[in-house]
Amino acid sequence: MFAFLKRLLFGRPLPTSRQKHERLPKFLALPVFASDALSSNAYATEEILLAFALAGTGAVAWKMALPITIAIVALLWIVVLSYRQTIFAYPQGGGSYIVTKENLGILPGLFAAASLLTDYVLTVAVSISSGVAAIVSAFPQLREDSVALAVLAVAVVALGNLRGLRESGALFAVPTYSFVLSVGVMIIVGLTHVATGTVHPVHTQFGETVKPITGVAFYFLVLRAFAGGCTAMTGTEAVADGIPAFRPPESKNAAATLVIMAAILGFLFVGVSVLAQTYQAVPYEGGVPSVMSQIAQGVFGRSTFYVIIQMATAAILILAANTAYQDYPRLSSILARDRFAPRQLANVGDRLVFTNGILALSFFAAMLIVVFHAHTSALIPLYAVGVFVSFTLSQWSMSIRLIKLKQPHWRLFSSISRFGSVVTGIVAVVIGAMKLTAGPRVHLGPISLPTGSYIVLMLIPIIVYILMKIHQHYMDLGEQLRITEFVEPAPVKSTAIVLTSGIHKGILETLEYARTLSHDCRALYIETDPSETPLIRDRWEKFGLGVPLVILESPYRSVIGPTLKYLEEAKKERPDHIVTVVLPEFVPRKWWHKILHNQSAIFLKLALMSFEGIVVTNARYYLRR
């Protein structure tokens, strides 16, 4: 039954030989790796406007949105040029973590990795929460179900990725290209209205203050708006992280995909900002209706095409999480390979994907969505800090590598990477400072906490510390297990103890097996009902194969406590012996029969895990019906 459901949900297992055939052409790689960056057009302009709106200077926002957008697009191209070099230099993938570790050292590399891991979790939470906000903008009656819808969306995206890379690429291609096409049409039609003078603004007033803000306060607002708009650049590093997922020639295809993504992103971002100014869109508290929704309504009215844009926006925002689902498991697997993360994260599942990484990402993202009530405005202040830290480390590392190797045109490319590193470093500081406590308060039961970038700034060093402790554990383990010179193992002496609840066919087979393990074989019975003990003693004398039975009273009807105490005494009795605890277990033919039986053996095994010198083994008796 379980195998049938697994195959139905995830598909048939794929052989390792199919791995190369599961790689993506550029047409499918673009929606897989660029959906995060492209989807940011749905909220990046809104974040720019929101910075001014919170200060009551909305009219200034309409004038400043386009210049700020152009500055961000220029920064985007600087980062793209640097990552294009990284793609050719490190075709094995890993992006910022690999290039930083190799050129700056392990600790900076771990900071890059921790920054990206944090950003990928936030990518899923922000993208899906924004997608749900787009749905709620079109159907306000669903507002109360936002959190449930967001968690359901996480499950759907996770399921798509668990089915395999090519299937997820095909699944997400239609929504991504639909969004690019529909928003592109909206921009062209909107600009046509501008050219023909048929624009009807959505709003005519936007929180104008009595005194215009000037001087330092004005530049402070511009920096804050710039920091908000830089969310458009999140996801830029995804292609460099996932190079092995491309068809050969991997680096060439990945570099081409990166440039195409940047071109589309730049066009859409500038176009949306122009229309936001032209139609005078206003950011609302809670994000509903969204700026994109207002622009679409201004251009097309409440027509069918308006609904198409909203649905395409919602779809790409929800499925933009797919970028993180490609890169988080891959980066986790690289960290696991380097022994900085649990080894399970390096395991490839039945469908040739990193199943454990996908499940871990889904859990953390769903937890964030629930804690922050699927409010994009509460999650955005946490967003983009980590990715700009990784941008900075990656570009600086590339500049150092180019200087060392002195390949053709190294001076030019090194200068570009170093300049980009300085700029993104400044942006990271600005984003961290501007968003330190920028979000609304989140209520966790009786506790109310402010949200902001300080959470991420605290979390990244904590993750680095955890990664280092994991690495230390694996190094200590390897040191203890390493064979430096051959030493003959000491002879093993064993005492076998069968834990029994009575006498039946399964126990007889277990006793016979236990007698092959040791000459000192005994059975242990914990008396929880004194009235049954005489019968068990009589039957044991008749059928017990001559194995002595030890009966311990348990006045409080506990099984685990007296068992552990007796095993400790047996270990003290013969310190040089390995105590083998044999647990009889009968296996029903049908899965639901297990529910009808006591599973105390599981708890006993868990309790015995920490005991040194004790081996636990199961002797199974399979029922026929």
CA dihedral 559, 562, 564, 566 (to 10 degrees): -130
CA dihedral 71, 72, 78, 80 (to 10 degrees): -150
CA distance 312 to 184: 12
pLDDT of residue 183: 93
Judge whether residue 173 has pLDDT over 90: no
Judge whether residue 428 has pLDDT over 60: yes
pLDDT of residue 244: 81
CA distance 488 to 492: 12
Query: 499 vs 314, which has greater pLDDT?
Result: 499
| Helix-, strand-, coil-residue percentages of the chain, each rounded to 5 | 70, 10, 20
Highest mean pLDDT among 261-270, 291-300, 318-327, 495-504: 261-270
Judge whether residue 364 has pLDDT over 50: yes
Judge whether residue 93 has pLDDT over 50: yes
3-state secondary structure 43-75: CHHHHHHHHHHCCCEHHHHHHHHHHHHHHHHHH
Please state, rounded to an integer, the average pLDDT across all residues of the chain: 82
Judge whether residue 555 has pLDDT over 70: yes
pLDDT of residue 448: 64
Structure tokens at 186: 């909206």
Q: What H or E segment, with its residue span, contains residue 448?
A: strand 447-451
CA distance 260 to 382: 28
Peptide bond into 289 cis (omega under 30): yes
CA distance 410 to 404: 9
Query: 296 vs 210, which has greater pLDDT?
Result: 296
Give the residue-averaged pLDDT of 329-339.
Answer: 90
What's the pLDDT band for 257 if we cut at 50, 70, 90? very high
CA distance 164 to 10: 8
Domains of the chain, with CATH numbers?
Answer: 42-428 (1.20.1740.10), 493-622 (3.40.50.620)
CA distance 568 to 573: 9
Structure tokens at 328: 């988080």
Q: Sheet of 549-553: strands edge to edge?
A: 549-553, 520-527, 493-500, 577-587, 614-622
pLDDT of residue 590: 75
Instruction: Work out the percent of the chain whose per-residue pLDDT is above 90.
Output: 21
What's the pLDDT band for 231 if we cut at 50, 70, 90? confident
Cβ–Cβ contacts within 10 Å for residue 271, how many? 21
Instruction: Using DSSP, state whether 525 is helix, strand or coil.
Output: strand
Give the residue-averaged pLDDT of 569-578.
Answer: 85
Structure tokens at 348: 């490839």
Judge whether residue 216 has pLDDT over 80: no
- Tens digits of per-residue pLDDT, 576-610? 888 899 988 877 777 776 766 666 777 788 888 77
Task: List the one residue out of 495, 470, 506, 467 whose CA is nearest residue 581.
Answer: 495
Q: Which residues, including other chains, have CB under 8 Å from residue 196's CB and lie 6 or more apart?
A: none
Q: Which residues, including other chains, have CB under 8 Å from residue 192's CB and lie 6 or more apart?
A: none
pLDDT of residue 611: 78
Picking from 60-74, 97-111, 248-262, 359-373, which range would have the lowest pLDDT averaged per residue?
60-74
Highest mean pLDDT among 183-192, 282-291, 577-586: 183-192
Decide: residue 1, CB within 10 A, 0-12 exposed, 13-18 middle, 19+ buried. Answer: exposed
Q: Find residue 455's DSSP bridge partners.
A: none
CA distance 604 to 344: 25
Query: 454 vs 550, which has greater pLDDT?
Result: 550
> Could you tell me if 416 and 78 are in contact, meaning their C-beta atoms sit under 8 angstroms apart?
yes
- Tens digits of per-residue pLDDT, 120-148? 898 888 888 877 877 787 778 877 888 89
What's the predicted TM-score (pTM) here? Answer: 0.76
Give the residue-averaged pLDDT of 177-183.
Answer: 92
> Could you tell me if 208 and 56 are in contact, meaning their C-beta atoms sit under 8 angstroms apart?
yes
